[in-house]
Structure 1
Amino acid sequence: MPINITMPALSPTMEEGTLAKWLVKEGDEIKSGMIIAEIETDKATMEVEAVDEGKVGKLLVPAGTEGVKVNAVIAVLLEEGESASEMKTPASPPSVPSGHLPPQAGGGKSVAPSTVPSPPSRSGGGGAPRSGVSEGAVAVMDRPGGARIMASPLAKRIAANKGIDLKALKGSGPHGRIIRRDVETAKPGAAQPAQGGAPMTADGLILPQILDDRVYAPDTYELKPLDGMRKTVAKRLTQSFMQVPHFPLNIDITLDNLLESRAAINAAAPKDVKISVNDLLIKAAALALIDEPDCNASYTDKGIAYHRHANISVAVAVEGGLITPVIFKAEGKGLAEISEEMKDLALRARERKLKPQEYMGGTFSISNLGMFGVKSFASIINPPEGMILSVGAGEKRAVVDENGAIVARTVMSVTLTCDHRVIGGAEGAKWLAAFKRYVETPEAMLL
């Protein structure tokens, strides 16, 4: 009986992904454990292994398709002696959101994959055949006089962008539905506001005003679709900013002793080891969390989770967003080990090659923009972590020393953003004091 190959869940939080590349083609024989595809999640690109053996009967989702839901059927595997004629419609067809069409090979335009029959799952089931794109969904609008406008979500979105009035179009799709080609061949006209006074997407979200040509003419900007990472970052940080009651604490820290210690460490280290200021800050943050365990905590609906180890998430800028690989149990690792791990994680993060377990499970985050000359800033908390430290640039400043003299010192401003459900102001201040002590007297990290 034909076997359905479904979109795998590559992390506990994954809901959809991009089928980046097929490494097999229809008719290929595959073995268990063979790499058959590459899947892009919001954070990484991962390889998918075959579980069953057989011949590829049909690839249902073309390479490059975005927004494929977890457990959607993406291909059909035929067992020995079976033919393509035995394939039927799957119980769970692939789900591809509107506007997420795969790129056409050899060109920059998007094309919709053809409708293909699909097989049943092993447990049986069935359903009507449908296209692998959201043209199959219907967005219904009112025409003047009470008549209805039937249009696919993709057609509706293109019409909004081009300023086309759907009421003036005649659909060429099934039952007169307006589909993509109808709006692409239509001439732009006066844009009509959607119900409620503002243009909306197919999923009910109000479109940003940049899409309103009363503000910006359509030919004055280039609209780049959001990739999975941008969508996830936007969603998670919006939720964090709106739902997590947070407050900032900031402090200035003198770096002169740390910089001298770093230079001495690097001079004594093997040639392939080079400790950075960030490596030292990771270690100091981890030790401060162990000193102040009330701050190494996360809020949950069932209670406060107090973590046994300091797992430090480090923000790394990548194309299309950022990712936070984790240095696990950083309090027990030496500087050379932290440095080596961080270089490897940062490199693979930029290549989107991290595994989910390498960027999930942090208990505290560090975001360092000092290398860009930023003096101070406050970061948004990375849930479910309870705190995030924003690190500014070290710069020469005039300070008053213990003798009352004005001297030049290298000073760094840091801001600690705290989840007030977990950490109070006093606890956050105690953590900052511990962190400051380790940074200003780095030999204390050896005790």
Structure 2
Amino acid sequence: MAIVVRMPEIATGAAEAAIQSWLVEVGNPVRAGQALVEIETEKAVVDYEAERSGVLAGILLAAGEAAAVGVPIAVLAEEGESVDVALAAVGGSSATDAVPADDQSEETDAAAAAPRVPAVPARGADEVIAAAPEEAASAPSAPATPPTAPAPHAAPIAAPAGEEQRLFASPLVRRLAGERGIDLRDVPGSGPRGRIVRRDLDAYVPPAAAGVDEAAPSASVPVAAPAGNPAESADPAGAAYEDVPHTGMRRAIARRLTESKATVPHFYLQADCRVDELLALRARINDGRSSRISVNDLVVKAVAGALRDVPEANAIWTDDATRRFTSADIAVAVSVPGGLSTPVVRGADRLSVSELAATVRDLAERARAGTLKQREIEGGSFSVSNLGMYGTTAFSAIINPPHAGILAVGAATKRPVVDDDGELAVATVMSVTLSADHRVLDGELAARWLAAFVARIENPLQILL
């Protein structure tokens, strides 16, 4: 029986994802656990592994295209099953362009696999966006009326057309085209059957002043100042500007963090840690080492140790229960081109400092390269965000759902302090801010966890135990 591979929910709460590239060619065998396809998410490009073994019978979503979570993206034939039979089971017509006949998703080109009869596209099918002039003129039951020009801020309107010259584009592409004021009839498509995919839209450069009403320029099109007078622009305020289109990562980050602030009851606790002994211990550890330990590595290790000291804090909120974990899995915020990624260090409480440092370094490098695997950005109960290396002394961070907390770490700076004997002294102090989910962590519990963290930072030999 044919195995339908569906778009996975790579990131918690994600509504859609995009295909970056297929790692297996149609007709080749696939083993369970083998990387099948690279999927672009809000955080990175991750490898999605096949859950079952078989032969890749057909690809339903081409590279560069996006689809909602749960939409079929490929078909596998089971052992002993012919590719043709597997494709027929889902309505596919070829090994390279198979589409399930009953798919009603917003991103699947159902029209591409349908019989060649004129029809209005159903919900989820790509709309026809250009007509073949010779067929439109010869249609016996319709007057030869010129097509209406599209509005500057809307995608072109569907029109009846001959099958051979139809242009298809997914709803995502149509929406982006509308936002950017692009007429899709001017964009060459590189997808199956000439379908316009997102990479075509991103690569398209509109001809200067083509089809643009100078009196009412699109708000999504960069406005250039007239030559010789850079201060002038179409902005009523008179300021020159340029609109940079949102990437999928930026949109997803905006959506998730907005949802976090709107649905997670944040509260904040701050503490100052004296880190002179921590820095001295780090210097001794790094003496003669080629792979150095960073302050952030010690911070992550202290966070994991504090979760072991206060196990009630190692939890997340679910609709039915508070889920407590026995392992300290810590997400580490990593700056990547165009956004932020949060790979998860598994079992950070059980790793030595050297093992943890190597793991964090590897995850950070692969996050920037966009080669993280799906399981490496999932799970965990807590996050660490460190901006100390940029000189930021203190800040508060937004919780990364479903985590119950995130620790914002500032720079270690020399400050005046009062010793236990009442004497004024100078010490190296690092400020941290805990953002906590009040559904999981009450004030007293969060305060106990933060005190446990500070105790480990100020007595750093505990971090090594």
Q: TM-score, normalised by structure 1?
A: 0.69
User: d(CA) in 1 for partners of 2:156 and 2:434?
Assistant: 52
The two structures, once aligned, show a CA RMSD in angstroms of 4.3
Aligned residue for 1:266?
Answer: 286
Residues 35, 155 of structure 1: alpha-carbon distance in 2 compared, 3 angstrom cutoff: closer
Deviation (angstroms), 1:189:
6.0
> Contact between 1:67 and 1:96, CA under 8 Å: does it hold in 2?
yes
Deviation (angstroms), 1:258:
0.4
User: d(CA) in 2 for partners of 1:18 and 1:416?
Assistant: 34
Aligned residue for 1:171?
Answer: none
Q: Say if 2:102 is the partner of 1:91.
A: yes
> Contact between 1:365 and 1:385, CA under 8 Å: does it hold in 2?
yes
Residues 217, 350 of structure 1: alpha-carbon distance in 2 compared, 3 angstrom cutoff: farther
Deviations 1:50-94 (A, max 9, x none): 9543776xx654432234653335579873699997878722267
User: d(CA) in 2 for partners of 1:75 and 1:446?
Assistant: 49
Aligned residue for 2:29?
Answer: 31
> Contact between 1:160 and 1:191, CA under 8 Å: does it hold in 2?
no
Q: Say if 2:317 is the partner of 1:299.
A: yes
> Contact between 1:61 and 1:132, CA under 8 Å: does it hold in 2?
no
Residues 24, 281 of structure 1: alpha-carbon distance in 2 compared, 3 angstrom cutoff: closer
SS of the equivalent of 1:407 reads strand
Aligned residue for 2:72?
Answer: 72
User: d(CA) in 1 for partners of 2:57 and 2:314?
Assistant: 51
User: d(CA) in 1 for partners of 2:56 and 2:444?
Assistant: 63
Select the residue among 368, 384, 390 that pairs with 1:372.
Answer: 390
Residues 70, 399 of structure 1: alpha-carbon distance in 2 compared, 3 angstrom cutoff: same
User: d(CA) in 2 for partners of 1:163 and 1:359?
Assistant: 35
Q: Say if 2:29 is the partner of 1:9.
A: no
Select the residue among 109, 112, 116 that pairs with 1:116.
Answer: 112
Aligned residues: 375
Deviation (angstroms), 1:159:
5.7
Aligned residue for 1:245?
Answer: 265
Deviations 1:135-191 (A, max 9, x none): 459xxxxxxxxxxx9936766765665599xxxxxxxxxxxxxxx99xx96342665
Q: Which stretch of structure 1 is more off in the superposition, 437-446 or 293-302?
A: 293-302
Residues 355, 62 of structure 1: alpha-carbon distance in 2 compared, 3 angstrom cutoff: closer
Residues 93, 19 of structure 1: alpha-carbon distance in 2 compared, 3 angstrom cutoff: farther
Q: Which stretch of structure 1 is more off in the superposition, 15-24 or 5-14?
A: 5-14
Amino acid at match of 1:44: V
Deviation (angstroms), 1:307:
2.3
Residues 333, 70 of structure 1: alpha-carbon distance in 2 compared, 3 angstrom cutoff: same
User: d(CA) in 2 for partners of 1:320 and 1:38?
Assistant: 18
Aligned residue for 1:255?
Answer: 275
User: d(CA) in 2 for partners of 1:355 and 1:308?
Assistant: 23
Q: Which stretch of structure 1 is more off in the superposition, 336-345 or 422-431?
A: 422-431
Deviation (angstroms), 1:218:
11
Amino acid at match of 1:416: L
Residues 133, 185 of structure 1: alpha-carbon distance in 2 compared, 3 angstrom cutoff: farther
> Contact between 1:367 and 1:388, CA under 8 Å: does it hold in 2?
yes
User: d(CA) in 1 for partners of 2:37 and 2:343?
Assistant: 24
SS of the equivalent of 2:287 reads helix
Deviation (angstroms), 1:304:
2.1
Where does 1:1-400 land on structure 2 (aligned, <5 Å)? 6-9=5-8, 11=10, 13=12, 15-22=15-22, 29-33=27-31, 37-42=37-42, 43-46=44-47, 51-53=53-55, 61-67=61-67, 69-73=69-73, 79=83, 90-92=101-103, 95-96=106-107, 116-117=112-113, 134-136=126-128, 151=157, 158=177, 161-162=180-181, 186-188=211-213, 220-227=241-248, 229-267=249-287, 271-400=289-418
SS of the equivalent of 2:20 reads strand
Deviation (angstroms), 1:21:
2.5
Amino acid at match of 1:224: P
User: d(CA) in 1 for partners of 2:424 and 2:411?
Assistant: 21
User: d(CA) in 1 for partners of 2:433 and 2:368?
Assistant: 26
Amino acid at match of 1:240: S
Aligned residue for 2:191?
Answer: none
Amino acid at match of 2:367: A
Q: Which stretch of structure 1 is more off in the superposition, 7-16 or 246-255?
A: 7-16
Q: Say if 2:415 is the partner of 1:416.
A: no
Deviation (angstroms), 1:370:
0.3
Q: What are the ranges of 5 or more consecutive residues in structure 2 without an aligned counterpart?
A: 130-154, 159-170, 184-203, 221-233
> Contact between 1:266 and 1:275, CA under 8 Å: does it hold in 2?
yes
Residues 383, 63 of structure 1: alpha-carbon distance in 2 compared, 3 angstrom cutoff: closer
User: d(CA) in 1 for partners of 2:20 and 2:369?
Assistant: 14
Q: Say if 2:423 is the partner of 1:438.
A: no
Amino acid at match of 2:349: E
Q: Calculate percent identity across the aligned residue pairs.
A: 35
> Contact between 1:255 and 1:410, CA under 8 Å: does it hold in 2?
yes
User: d(CA) in 2 for partners of 1:281 and 1:23?
Assistant: 37
Amino acid at match of 2:45: A
User: d(CA) in 1 for partners of 2:176 and 2:328?
Assistant: 46
Deviations 1:111-130 (A, max 9, x none): xx9963269xxxxxxx9877
Amino acid at match of 1:31: P
> Contact between 1:130 and 1:136, CA under 8 Å: does it hold in 2?
no
Q: What are the ranges of 5 or more consecutive residues in structure 1 without an aligned counterpart?
A: 98-112, 120-126, 138-148, 165-179, 194-198, 201-212
Deviation (angstroms), 1:430:
1.7
Q: TM-score, normalised by structure 2?
A: 0.67
SS of the equivalent of 2:297 reads helix
